[in-house]
Structure 1
Amino acid sequence: MTNHVTLFAPPPDDHSKAPIENVLDLTPVVDLGPDVFTNTRPLWHPPGARGIYGGAAIAQSLSAAMRTVPADFAVHSMHCYFVLAGDSELPILYHVERVRDGRSFVTRTVQARQRGRPIFTTTLSFSRVGSGGEKTLNHATPMPDVKIPDTLPGTVRALSDAGGGPFESKKAGIINRTHNPEDKRVRRFVRARGRVSEEGGFQAHLSALAYITDSFFIGTVSRVHDIPRFSSPAELEQLLKALKNPSDLDDEDIRKALQELKEEEASDLRRRLEGALSNASTQDHKEVGMMVSLDHSIYFHNPRAFRADEWMFFEMESPWAGEGRGLAVQKIWSLNGTLIATCTQEGVVRLKQDKPPLSKI
């Protein structure tokens, strides 16, 4: 064992696998028990975030649980709680508990721990493939009629570390842009970079999807209110001066300032920033003071019917916000129209106040 950000010295990346497989790789910790795992490689801490990227904890917990489940079972739901911010300077231990093994369903819980304390916890349910019988009820929300990714302008990599990140996205617009916040739909296409290995099986695609679901998600709440994530008009002015061309988005300073908005095209960023500046003095100015995920649920509808390294269509909405929290709902389709998953996430979404808040997290 070594005194690094991982429990064991990380091996070189396996180039026969997709980048996301290397990011999510786990190492068994046999000295602590048969169902204990740790992150093989360092975890990404997004610029300006309180801790590690939450999708890593979600995906690695799923991966750890799947290692304890027979291959003829597939996950159909997982319910997660973010307890404490994960420290990217410390390894994470994933403790899997085998709650129940039935003929049709298997249940697991996973606790992700640092310094002996849980930072993340999830309960997962797996069902045996084909256990529903020959006769079943079937329906699914159809995929909206949207342009295929190749006709959309501009491919950009999602928020990531210096290596460019394990997935990429293309925005697909906002539906009902002029309507009430609860009526708006934020759309984009997302896929894992590279090619997920055959060795990883359908489990690797599920873990990759779980990782991606936490990106762009809680930010839907502020986005449907057209609230940019900047602290002051002065900072907006500084960013406008820096945005001279799209290549400026690779600047380290700009990356830190834009945070989640780096995936937007430069022209769209410039338009939104200019609009925020012009409206700042004439309208009730709102600024996000804190945005933190609290819980995250994924319902996997067709766990073997998609590839995470092929374009998937995401549609996000926010049916409710209040009391300093917001709820976001996300539907995900493969391009053949198969509804892959439905996700929900609630988070703290607090605006900057003229007076101090009554409580702090």
Structure 2
Amino acid sequence: MDQAAVDALIALLDLEPIEVNIFRGLSPDRGDQRVFGGQVAGQALVAAARTVEADKIVHSLHAYFLRPGDPTVPIIYEVDRTRDGRSFATRRVKAVQHGRSIFTLSANFQTPEEGFDHQFDMPSGLPEPDSLPDFRERMEPYREQFAEWFDRPRPIDTRYCELGPWERKEDRPPYQHVWLKANGVLPDDPVLHICVLTYASDMTLLDTSLLPHGSSFTVGEVFMASLDHAMWFHRPFRADEWLLYAQDTPSASGGRGLGRGLVYSHDGRLVASVVQEGVIRRMR
């Protein structure tokens, strides 16, 4: 566990209100060249949720990454209260830096209700997360390649069921399975757990689209950047308990890759679905 890193993530998602419907978010001071996409998506969802009645929970989001975020200056989140109905509410969020939009998000919220219920079964035959190496154990052979990135605090514990995308160069099947969870204990706020999963969902999904091509962003062969990101939240969950992120890639073409993911709780409940498209461009 790395509770200090998890507490830092909680603080990162705790936006400062500066006016009605306007919030300010910061980035970690780590020398990154651009803001991590999961961070701006998670912060934007926090901004949206803080303008919605507490009895409504987010059930979907659709986001576009417009420009790289500058980690050296704050991000301003402007929320449009698009709709407030008895069952559903809709919010649109614009993230702004240097006077320009860098990200937009639309999120829909719903008052919980009973209804029809079915789901795809959780993949079977996969290793248990506690039997798999954590980041430091898995990446020790690559410590010099990752340099200072190796020793960074890690608020999300990720454990790969198959070889990681950096571990071999030959073409591979177009799917991967990753166990993940917050690397410590989170408060009971269900909105925070959804925002933490939103943050984590951007960490591995686009990598999946490189697996059939024997390429990896970690060796400097490919430029990668998220273009859009969509999530649907189906059932309650805790982001500080193990979640299985079952990912596949139906297509890559035109310098873009598409990744899909189904997120299951450890006991087999389908809790979220994810789709993302991003740039995957060979570097010349």
Instruction: Verify same fold: TM over 0.5.
Output: yes
Instruction: Quote the Cα distance in structure 2 between the aligned partners of 1:52 and 1:162.
Output: 19
Q: Does 1:208 align with 2:193?
A: no
Long gaps (5+) in structure 2: 140-145
SS in 1 for 2:225: strand
Q: Give the CA deviation at 1:189.
A: 0.7
The aligned residue for residue 296 of structure 1 is 229
Q: Does 1:27 align with 2:16?
A: yes
Instruction: Quote the Cα distance in structure 2 between the aligned partners of 1:223 and 1:44.
Output: 31
SS in 1 for 2:195: helix
Percent identity between matched residues is 35
2:161 is matched with which residue: 158, 162, 172? 172
- Contact 1:51–1:85 (Cα < 8 Å) also in 2: yes
Q: Give the CA deviation at 1:339.
A: 0.7
2:73 is matched with which residue: 70, 90, 93? 90
SS in 2 for 1:307: coil
Q: Does 1:113 align with 2:113?
A: no
The aligned residue for residue 28 of structure 2 is 43
Specify whether residues 223 and 213 from structure 1 end up closer, same or farther in structure 2 by C-alpha distance, changes over 3 A only.
Answer: same
Specify whether residues 44 and 55 from structure 1 end up closer, same or farther in structure 2 by C-alpha distance, changes over 3 A only.
Answer: farther
Q: Give the CA deviation at 1:230.
A: 5.6
Per-residue CA deviation, residues 220-272 of structure 1 (Å, 9 max, x unaligned), is: 1112322133667xxxxxxxxxxxxxxxxxxxxxxxxxxxxxxxxxxxxxxxx
- Contact 1:44–1:52 (Cα < 8 Å) also in 2: no
Q: Give the CA deviation at 1:23.
A: 2.2
CA RMSD of the aligned region, Å? 2.6
Long gaps (5+) in structure 1: 1-13, 233-286, 354-361
The aligned residue for residue 148 of structure 1 is 128
The answer to which structure has the higher strand fraction is 2
- Contact 1:316–1:331 (Cα < 8 Å) also in 2: yes
Q: Give the CA deviation at 1:156.
A: 1.4
- Contact 2:217–2:224 (Cα < 8 Å) also in 1: no
TM-score by length of 1: 0.68
Instruction: Quote the Cα distance in structure 1 between the aligned partners of 2:179 and 2:212.
Output: 18
Per-residue CA deviation, residues 254-295 of structure 1 (Å, 9 max, x unaligned), is: xxxxxxxxxxxxxxxxxxxxxxxxxxxxxxxxx42x211100
Q: Give the CA deviation at 1:76.
A: 0.8
The aligned residue for residue 182 of structure 2 is 192
Specify whether residues 101 and 115 from structure 1 end up closer, same or farther in structure 2 by C-alpha distance, changes over 3 A only.
Answer: same
Instruction: Quote the Cα distance in structure 1 between the aligned partners of 2:175 and 2:159.
Output: 15
Q: Which amino acid aligns with 1:21?
A: I
Per-residue CA deviation, residues 164-191 of structure 1 (Å, 9 max, x unaligned), is: 121111111169x9x986x532111111
Specify whether residues 68 and 142 from structure 1 end up closer, same or farther in structure 2 by C-alpha distance, changes over 3 A only.
Answer: same
Instruction: Quote the Cα distance in structure 2 between the aligned partners of 1:219 and 1:150.
Output: 23
Q: Which amino acid aligns with 1:139?
A: H
Instruction: Quote the Cα distance in structure 2 between the aligned partners of 1:324 and 1:208.
Output: 29
SS in 2 for 1:224: helix
Instruction: Quote the Cα distance in structure 1 between the aligned partners of 2:151 and 2:23.
Output: 26
- Contact 1:94–1:111 (Cα < 8 Å) also in 2: yes
Instruction: Quote the Cα distance in structure 1 between the aligned partners of 2:49 and 2:74.
Output: 20
- Count of aligned positions: 266
Instruction: Quote the Cα distance in structure 1 between the aligned partners of 2:107 and 2:45.
Output: 8
SS in 2 for 1:84: coil
The aligned residue for residue 340 of structure 1 is 271
Instruction: Quote the Cα distance in structure 2 between the aligned partners of 1:120 and 1:167.
Output: 23
Q: Which amino acid aligns with 2:28?
A: L
The aligned residue for residue 143 of structure 2 is none
SS in 2 for 1:64: helix
4+ residue runs of structure 1 moved beyond 4 angstroms?
44-47, 157-163
Instruction: Quote the Cα distance in structure 2 between the aligned partners of 1:193 and 1:26.
Output: 21
Specify whether residues 115 and 312 from structure 1 end up closer, same or farther in structure 2 by C-alpha distance, changes over 3 A only.
Answer: same
Q: Give the CA deviation at 1:306.
A: 1.1
TM-score by length of 2: 0.86
> Which structure has the larger Rg?
1
